Structure 1
């Protein structure tokens, strides 16, 4: 028996289930192509096209622009399915969904321009690089917009090779000596992709840096002050329909953690698939058993990791339902609720990472071959869990502060470095930064 089956939630939709099931049917195909994606540094064309045909890159686009605006439960189930096949494909799905919601904070004319392209664009419509980083590039205010200086570089641009647009962070010095931090929207063709994504995991996520080689004028309609981002996210629910866009700013941002840690859980499910297959006929190196599945040690690992993965998945899905129920009720999230959900998701992701580690060690050296998907899950989950916004101990500290009532409540986006510094108007540190 594999990991437990999903019990359909009343909060999921027929559309979401169809996409989830469509992805699950493609798991063998996408998993087999993942090694090619590592070599390419992005998703293989066949994988990108297959996901696009299933509308995976329209999950969070408003219905008025031909999107689905799916709720948290649907998003979680679909992300789990994609990552079960390939962590990098899951990462691309998360980026596409998450930064769709950021685009919705721009002026409506820009939103319409961006999503008009989804009629013909194959793949994610938008990605981002160093938007919330301490280190961003400087820009200059000019009539009608801003000029971003040549030589600007932004790091960790996940999805850069596939997206039609990039949202990047810039800082503008004001006459009073303060700095305004801005999100600016660039078109593909206004920036170049740097060949610097050479990493141990999530190699197919195309998280390259991007740079501009000449001054770029960005009109005011493509600029959002980061200090206003929380209020603008709050306003999304008043402008667009769909359960996935019906929550406040905290709810919209906690979905990003749900999606990111859902990738880790999905990869654990994929690793467990491979574990069952590879232990069936492989014999132990030193013990006299017909196969690994007949050794007590492997049986113990199987029992443990199945429960670990089940627990991680059920935690993610249960909390996704909480998000959707609050959206349906029109209830805002408190800072403490957001922090608790963040910790729950991060804990689930780390539990999934531990399960993958146990799976790899149970099988042994056969898993280190680059042709073996288990080693890729092990590397990819390590990279996912090192992401700054998803680290276990910082998340636990924030949750612990709330538990003991000693929290300095920053509240949602205000706790993100770039947004916090935007409110403080602190000086900008030039250079590519890490989100």
Structure 2
């Protein structure tokens, strides 16, 4: 067994051992609108925040399939914790696209949490040695527990044209608004961050084009097999949260099933009802189908990275479409279970309703929405331009 395999197994086992506690902490995460510190500590001890950190900085630098396995397992405990971990891990990988000087600053401790807001709702004004950054960034998942924040902004050039850039700043330099009041994924603490005339040195700013292609010129390349396509990498990691929550919803549904009767009927054991059997089997198979789709495109992305290649446009569109289909499948699976879970499952003290709400809420995410993803895939399948840079 290789060193990477041993590290991956150790992290996965530690996270798996934490699932009951993460699940138990779900109500607190919901009510305080941010995951408990205990959840972060459990993942820190497990090594989760080193998953994408290069080994030369003391990180684990695990391949994509191993990262996805860990993030899926976290979601079996708490969807909000997994979604935050996806943000921290995937954005930490993005830091490998920056100059070495930036990487040395961010990865100094070997374990780091980096949040990001990728809608360019800020402005970066060029000044000597860097930029002045001003703006507000909504839906900034994990910002309350992050060390750094990667923020999209627009630079206006003298000819009037605009260029998107990504500025990397310490979270301590930003203001975090208390404005995350939602009915699903409450524990992600996806509040708004803001900056006012904040100086960002030039080495912590890269263009959107650089982020979507080869990274900053002259940077030390990451290890072989870790040069992924940005958007497909983020999508592949995000799908893990949806699948993990669906698996958890099925688990807790089945745990409550023995001895449950059906109110206002003569059925004293819900397991005996054919509709229950049908819905449970259909939900389980939809989840398995989603896992199979995910495994397929994760394997594709890792194979391309191992060969030192980037996926083709067609393959990137396929990843978007298959990811959207996987999310649609697990969404339907949990909805199917919800229709037969009974009124008692609505209790906020039971985790089923939280998995249900969080999964539906996160299905509205712009990049992960099944409808949007299938449109991109469909356009390419019928021979049209995808008309999106998010591939």
Report the TM range for the smaller structure's normalisation. Answer: over 0.9
| Correspondence list, 1:103-182, <5 A | 103-118=95-110, 124-129=112-117, 131=118, 133=119, 135-149=120-134, 152-182=135-165
Gaps of 5+ in 2: none
| Aligned length, in residue pairs | 391
Q: Which residue of 2 aligns with 1:231?
A: 213
What TM-score do the two structures reach when normalised by structure 2?
0.94
Measured after TM superposition, the shift of residue 286 of structure 1 is 2.1
Q: CA deviation digits over 1:56-75, x for unaligned, max 9? A: 11111111111122112112
Q: Which residue of 2 aligns with 1:217?
A: 199
Q: Which residue of 2 aligns with 1:184?
A: 167
CA contact (8 A) 1:335 1:409 kept: no
Q: Which residue of 2 aligns with 1:371?
A: 349
User: Residues of 2 paired with 1:304 and 1:408: CA distance?
Assistant: 33
Which of 351, 360, 365 is the matching residue for 2:338?
Answer: 360
**Partner of 2:214: helix, strand, or coil?**
helix
Structure scoring higher RCO (CA < 8 A, sep ≥ 6) equals: 1
Measured after TM superposition, the shift of residue 242 of structure 1 is 5.3
1:317 aligns with 2:305: no
| Correspondence list, 1:5-404, <5 A | 13-118=5-110, 124-129=112-117, 131=118, 133=119, 135-149=120-134, 152-212=135-195, 214-233=196-215, 239-241=221-223, 243=225, 245-247=226-228, 250=229, 252-404=230-382
* Residues 1:302 and 1:235: Cα distance change in structure 2 (over 3 Å): farther
CA contact (8 A) 1:260 1:384 kept: no
User: Residues of 1 paired with 2:263 and 2:218: CA distance?
Assistant: 58
CA contact (8 A) 2:224 2:305 kept: no
* Residues 1:58 and 1:242: Cα distance change in structure 2 (over 3 Å): farther
**Partner of 2:169: helix, strand, or coil?**
strand
1:415 aligns with 2:390: yes
* Residues 1:262 and 1:235: Cα distance change in structure 2 (over 3 Å): farther
User: Residues of 1 paired with 2:36 and 2:218: CA distance?
Assistant: 33
Q: CA deviation digits over 1:21-64, x for unaligned, max 9? A: 22122211110101111222222111110111001111111111
What TM-score do the two structures reach when normalised by structure 1?
0.85
* Residues 1:277 and 1:340: Cα distance change in structure 2 (over 3 Å): same
CA contact (8 A) 1:184 1:222 kept: yes
Q: Which residue of 2 aligns with 1:4?
A: none
Runs of 4+ aligned structure 1 residues displaced above 3 Å come to 232-238
Gaps of 5+ in 1: 1-9, 417-435
**Partner of 1:271: helix, strand, or coil?**
helix
User: Residues of 2 paired with 1:340 and 1:362: CA distance?
Assistant: 34
User: Residues of 2 paired with 1:387 and 1:352: CA distance?
Assistant: 15
User: Residues of 2 paired with 1:74 and 1:242: CA distance?
Assistant: 15
CA contact (8 A) 1:144 1:220 kept: yes
Aligned-CA RMSD value: 2.3
Measured after TM superposition, the shift of residue 156 of structure 1 is 1.0
Q: CA deviation digits over 1:292-345, x for unaligned, max 9? A: 112222111111111111111122123222222222222321000110111112
User: Residues of 2 paired with 1:236 and 1:280: CA distance?
Assistant: 61
User: Residues of 1 paired with 2:342 and 2:323: CA distance?
Assistant: 29
User: Residues of 2 paired with 1:360 and 1:238: CA distance?
Assistant: 49
